[in-house]
Amino acid sequence: MRWPPYRGGVLIIDTATYEAIVDHARRDHPDEACGVVAGPEGSDRPARFIPMLNAAMSPTFYEFDSGDLFRLYKEMDSRDEEPVVIYHSHTATEAYPSRTDINLAQEPGAHYVLVSTRDGADSPSYDGPVEFRSYRIIDGEVTEEEVQVVPAYPAE
Amino acid sequence: MAIELRVPTILRTYTGGEKAVNGAGSTLAEFIDDVNGNHPGLKERIVEGRPEELRRFVNVYVNDEDVRFTGGLKTEVKDGDVVVVLPAVAGG
């Protein structure tokens, strides 16, 4: 099956990666969690989950460490990958890009995923839905997109 | 020989889509000025203010070293060096 062209309107993500992102956000609460899901260049398929350290170790800010960032991009480059998803959590507010998120977004090809762990969503006993939303952020403009969670990606 | 600049996706609008461009100079500041001569506008996405400094949310590496630890814009460069620019991944 051919991978369908959905760039711009939908994030299609497999269950395991979706859960890995939510688990990371819960684990790092009350600090913000952050990371990348890399995928083959041009595929728009988030395939390789890469949790990153939040060098800011803050409940209101996240930043990849500069050395980690360098190694991450070098590795993706050598594997012909790109950052398909860039995710981070909000720990006390909704899963919507903050002014800072919008100003600092510098990957026009990425899906920016936000997860919120507010209102007890970080707790293992929390059984409500965890806010998990995806956006394009290009030149300061935010466009939300649908998130489709699939059991597995179709074979290429 | 020349010095190579690896251009991040978001700045490739300044390089006609090229992932890497060449330039010359003996310091990072001179090199960025030289590259900017062929690709106007690139410099102001990397450098700001007077005196000029690297933008807070742009990382620059010369041969794998973050230049913030090697003298910033005064970092010495030479033919064969690779300069990598990576926007910070950060937010609130």
Query: Is the separation of the CB atoms in A134 and A145 below 8 Å?
Result: yes
Please report the pLDDT score of residue A156 as a whole number: 67
Q: Is A38 part of any domain? A: yes
Interface touch B92/A98, C-beta < 8 Å: yes
Q: Is A45 part of any domain? A: yes
- List the structure tokens of A10: 């939908």
Tell me if residue A13 falls in helix, strand or coil: strand
By the 10 Å C-beta count (0-12 exposed, 13-18 middle, 19+ buried), A135 is classed as buried
Count the neighbouring beta carbons within 10 Å of the beta carbon of residue A6. Answer: 13
Please report the pLDDT score of residue B28 as a whole number: 98
CA distance A64 to chain B (A): 6
- With a CB-CB cutoff of 8 Å, which residues 114-143 of chain A face chain B? none
Structural domain tally of chain A? 1
- How far is CA B37 from each of CA A42, B2, B15, B31, B32, rounded to the nearest angstrom? 31, 15, 11, 10, 9
pLDDT by residue (tens digit) across A24-35?
A: 999 999 999 999
Interface touch B64/A86, C-beta < 8 Å: no
Q: Distance (Å, rounded) from C-alpha B58 to C-alpha A66?
A: 10
Q: Is A75 part of any domain? A: yes
Mean pLDDT of chain A: 93
Q: pLDDT 10s per residue in chain B (92 long)?
A: 799 999 999 999 999 999 999 999 999 999 999 999 999 999 999 999 999 999 999 999 999 999 999 999 999 999 999 999 999 999 99
Domain locations in chain B as residue ranges: 3-87
Interface touch B8/A99, C-beta < 8 Å: no
Reported confidence tier of residue A1, pLDDT bands at 50, 70, 90: very low
Please report the pLDDT score of residue A54 as a whole number: 98
Reported residue count of chain A is 156
Given a cut of 50, is residue A4 above it in pLDDT?
Answer: no
Q: On the CB side of A101, how many CA atoms lie within 13 Å of its CA?
A: 24
Given a cut of 60, is residue A8 above it in pLDDT?
Answer: no
Q: Is A155 part of any domain? A: no
CA distance B48 to chain A (A): 15
pLDDT by residue (tens digit) across A71-129?
A: 999 999 999 999 999 999 999 999 999 999 999 999 999 999 999 999 999 988 888 88
Q: Distance (Å, rounded) from C-alpha B55 to C-alpha A110?
A: 22
Is A60 in CB contact (< 8 Å) with chain B? yes
Please report the pLDDT score of residue A46 as a whole number: 98
Q: Distance (Å, rounded) from C-alpha B52 to C-alpha A44?
A: 38
Domain hosting A84: range is: 10-150
User: Which CATH number fits the domain that encloses residue A120?
Assistant: 3.40.140.10
Question: Full-prediction pTM beyond 0.90?
Answer: yes
State the sign of the Cα–Cα–Cα–Cα dihedral A99, A100, A106, A111: negative
Count the neighbouring beta carbons within 10 Å of the beta carbon of residue B38. Answer: 12
Interface touch A70/B10, C-beta < 8 Å: no
Is A87 in CB contact (< 8 Å) with chain B? no
Please report the pLDDT score of residue A124 as a whole number: 80
pLDDT by residue (tens digit) across A71-84?
A: 999 999 999 999 99
Enter the CATH code of domain B3-87.
3.10.20.30
* Minimum CA–CA partner of A95 in chain B: B92
Dihedrals phi, psi of B51, to nearest 5 degrees: -60, 155
Query: Is the separation of the CB atoms in A112 and A96 below 8 Å?
Result: no
Contacts of A104 in chain B (CB under 8 A): 57, 88, 90-91
Given a cut of 90, is residue A5 above it in pLDDT?
Answer: no
Q: Give exposure, A96-133, as e/b (b: 16+ Cβ within 10 Å).
A: ebbeebbebbbbeebbbbbbbbbeebbeeeeeeebbbb
Interface touch A86/B89, C-beta < 8 Å: yes
Going by C-alpha positions, the residue among B53, B26, B69 that lies closest to residue A70 is B69
Q: Is A4 part of any domain? A: no
Query: Is the separation of the CB atoms in A89 and A114 below 8 Å?
Result: yes
Answer yes or no: is the ipTM higher than 0.85: yes
Q: On the CB side of B44, how many CA atoms lie within 13 Å of its CA?
A: 2
DSSP 8-state symbol, A7: T
Q: Distance (Å, rounded) from C-alpha A147 to C-alpha A46?
A: 12
Is A101 in CB contact (< 8 Å) with chain B? yes
Q: Is A2 part of any domain? A: no
Given a cut of 50, is residue A2 above it in pLDDT?
Answer: no
